[in-house]
Structure 1
């Protein structure tokens, strides 16, 4: 029995997607429209605001148009999922964008973060975040100091892209933001669950800039599309939503979601900080009973493979078959997009060590570097109770060789589900009443003894630490 249906709009780095789910987690239809990110030096990555909102509407209309007429009548609610750390500024009166969308991959504000580091412990106590240039606060300060606004100061709004998309997509055009996206800014107090005046002062941002914070589950307004009117009842960040894909997230699991970047989460029920200060402590559900996670980040995931394919230009993309025959790949210093936890190094200096002319071996090395960064962060999170298994999703989780290496290094079974669009599925689970999740893993990778892989990891770890040290000197 399908009963009520939900439209989930998911705005990501490479595309805008829309999917229609029933309460059993079945995807009945979907639409997808590619979006472009413009990379320029130094450290800049931007998207065009109009491209994002148009692509999201087109994807939603495509998904709805593919439904049977009787199913279209069962649509009851909508959800919006976005990149958490992409930002822009807009006019509060008419919603017109005042800046490009500055991508989460953009690091133009890194010098503000360097100046802030003596206060890193204080910032982390308030926000749960370790200061880094991928987070929105430094980007917003850069905009306020470098952009020219032909708008009265009190009309300037700025913040995560979710706030602007809410204003563009719903009839009421409010200036609102959900707590999960707000918590990612480095301007939000986990204790008060609101913007913190001291943090605004620290980044020299006016009180009037930011939208009002609301819970993730909230009536944000009425989504208006041609022939369709739905309440927008849930807004959240991509990685937070993904944790709910198969029901209430469990403290027994380590969740890994591998998109352009990679994110690893262990669910926590209390606000207390993870003892490793360079692991993020994040709000994953902004509600009356908030839920938190310890989060590690890997900047170079699918984007690292894209970077390497552009350089190596192999004849195919069959990494799994290459991994089977490549017994001694080189080591890849994965700094694509900078280095996330637990290092937080903003410079981008990727390279191969013990390099060779074999493009297939070089790409296997990039794939292994993702597994190595995952394992390095597992070690950094070791003060938490041990996980019993890993649940993995996202585009490059389809690589069997990557999943098996993660299992071999961690000593944990790795479960992968057939439905790998877990972000949208998690949002649907939040808003459809009486949702049922009885989805079994498509594949479970069991740990195997792999001494050569362990030895390559140790060699990689030493070389990676030396590489970072040389860049810091």
Structure 2
């Protein structure tokens, strides 16, 4: 007997995707629509709300249109996964956007956090987050201060892009947000599981601005797509969903997802903050029962490679081949988008160190810097029990040289599955009843002795620490 299917809408930094899954994790149909981002130095990154909404609807309708009539009848529910920290304001009555989408990569609100620096331990205790400008709280405060909302504030709503998409995708047009995404705002108490009055006061944000918080698994309403009346029953942030791609995540594994940014997650046996209070996010996860994770972030992953390709302009994109041609690339001080954990430096001052000017060699150096930033965060997680293996996903995880280098440097086996879109597959596992995952890894990268790479990592770490100190002196 055939099981039900679900539509997963995955709204990311670079594109909107829609995929249709069965309960075994098989993808029956998919579509993708690219979207643009406007980067304005030194710290702004914006996207068009209308373009994002249209792209998501197009992807959803295209994926549904590819199904045969029998499978279309099996389509019973939908889920929505979004970039967690991209933020905007909208008209509470009509849902019309009143600001651009301020991307998670945007750091214009950093000065608000500098003002609150003495209260960082309190912020961390309440939210489980290390305060930084990528999170929505400072973005919302900036919106309130730089837009003429004061006379009609009762008609304004604001928050992560997930809430605005719920408003505009559903017939009901309600202002709702899932708890996982709410927990990423720096305005949400992880103990009370609600917007926290003290946090709202610190960021000067009225609670009336924010959407109502709902569980990830909730009947949010019905999609208003032509010829499609699917109920939206699951909403969550992208990285939280990705952890469930292959079933319930295990504390024994280190999970890495490499999209525009990179994210490392370890499931915690017990909730609460760990000793490395300046290093890691501790995020509530979307699950059938509560789970917590320690999360580390890398700002410069796929976006660092894209940035470097635009600067170096090589004739092709064969990084795996170039890695063997240039075994000693220049060291890249990867600060694309600023530096995430464990260093938390908002300034972007990327550069290469070394004499090699060949563009291909420089790009290999950028790829290696991603491996080095991953290992820097693995070392920052040293208070946790050592992981047994790494499970990796996301677009640039398809680089064999990156996976092998990570295995060699970490000393851990790296497992990569055939399905790259692990965020959507995790959402499907959490949306469909009786989901089953019995997939075998597509490839296993076993650690090799790599003395040269380990020495380059030591050289890079020394140079990166010096470079960070010099950049911080500018603050």
TM exceeding 0.5: yes
TM-score calculated relative to the size of structure 1: 0.98
Matches of 1:148 and 1:442 in 2, distance apart?
53
The alignment covers a number of residue pairs equal to 472
State the match for 1:70 in structure 2. Answer: 70
Q: Is the 2:412–2:447 Cα contact (8 Å) retained in structure 1? A: yes
State the match for 1:284 in structure 2. Answer: 285
- Output the aligned Cα RMSD: 1.0
Q: Is the 2:39–2:45 Cα contact (8 Å) retained in structure 1? A: yes
Matches of 2:397 and 2:130 in 1, distance apart?
27
State the match for 2:7 in structure 1. Answer: 7
Q: For 2:207, what is the secondary structure of its paired residue?
A: coil
Q: For 2:182, what is the secondary structure of its paired residue?
A: helix
In the TM superposition, what whole-angstrom CA distance separates every residue of 1:47-87 from its partner, at most 9, and x where no partner exists?
11110111000000000000011000000100000000000
In the TM superposition, what whole-angstrom CA distance separates every residue of 1:292-316 from its partner, at most 9, and x where no partner exists?
1000000000000001001111111
Q: Is the 1:23–1:429 Cα contact (8 Å) retained in structure 2? A: yes
CA 1:150–1:470 in 2, change beyond 3 Å: closer, same or farther? Answer: closer
The within-5 A match list for 1:72-221 is 72-149=72-149, 152-221=152-221
Q: For 1:130, what is the secondary structure of its paired residue?
A: coil
Q: For 2:209, what is the secondary structure of its paired residue?
A: coil
Question: C-alpha displacement at 1:153, in angstroms?
Answer: 1.1
In the TM superposition, what whole-angstrom CA distance separates every residue of 1:230-286 from its partner, at most 9, and x where no partner exists?
110000000000000000011111000000000000012432112111211111126
Question: C-alpha displacement at 1:356, in angstroms?
Answer: 1.7
Question: Where does structure 1 lack aligned partners over 5 or more consecutive residues?
Answer: none
Q: Does 1:430 align with 2:439?
A: no
Q: Does 1:455 align with 2:455?
A: yes
State the match for 1:372 in structure 2. Answer: 372
Matches of 2:77 and 2:404 in 1, distance apart?
38
Q: Is the 2:287–2:430 Cα contact (8 Å) retained in structure 1? A: no
CA 1:359–1:237 in 2, change beyond 3 Å: closer, same or farther? Answer: same
Q: Is the 1:285–1:292 Cα contact (8 Å) retained in structure 2? A: no
Q: Is the 1:136–1:185 Cα contact (8 Å) retained in structure 2? A: yes
Q: Does 1:243 align with 2:243?
A: yes
Q: Is the 1:33–1:58 Cα contact (8 Å) retained in structure 2? A: yes
Question: C-alpha displacement at 1:148, in angstroms?
Answer: 2.1
State the match for 1:30 in structure 2. Answer: 30
Q: For 1:404, what is the secondary structure of its paired residue?
A: helix
Question: Where does structure 2 lack aligned partners over 5 or more consecutive residues?
Answer: none
Q: For 1:219, what is the secondary structure of its paired residue?
A: strand
Question: C-alpha displacement at 1:397, in angstroms?
Answer: 0.1
Matches of 1:260 and 1:450 in 2, distance apart?
28
Q: For 1:460, what is the secondary structure of its paired residue?
A: helix
Q: For 1:46, what is the secondary structure of its paired residue?
A: strand
State the match for 1:297 in structure 2. Answer: 297
Q: Does 1:232 align with 2:232?
A: yes
In the TM superposition, what whole-angstrom CA distance separates every residue of 1:81-124 from its partner, at most 9, and x where no partner exists?
00000000011111111111000000000111111111111111
Question: C-alpha displacement at 1:151, in angstroms?
Answer: 6.6
The within-5 A match list for 1:390-401 is 390-401=390-401
Matches of 1:3 and 1:293 in 2, distance apart?
31
Q: For 2:265, what is the secondary structure of its paired residue?
A: strand
State the match for 2:386 in structure 1. Answer: 386
Matches of 1:86 and 1:15 in 2, distance apart?
14
Matches of 2:256 and 2:28 in 1, distance apart?
25
Q: Is the 1:215–1:286 Cα contact (8 Å) retained in structure 2? A: no
Matches of 2:364 and 2:338 in 1, distance apart?
20
Matches of 2:66 and 2:329 in 1, distance apart?
45
Q: Is the 1:2–1:23 Cα contact (8 Å) retained in structure 2? A: no
Q: Is the 2:90–2:157 Cα contact (8 Å) retained in structure 1? A: yes
State the match for 1:346 in structure 2. Answer: 346
Question: C-alpha displacement at 1:149, in angstroms?
Answer: 3.3
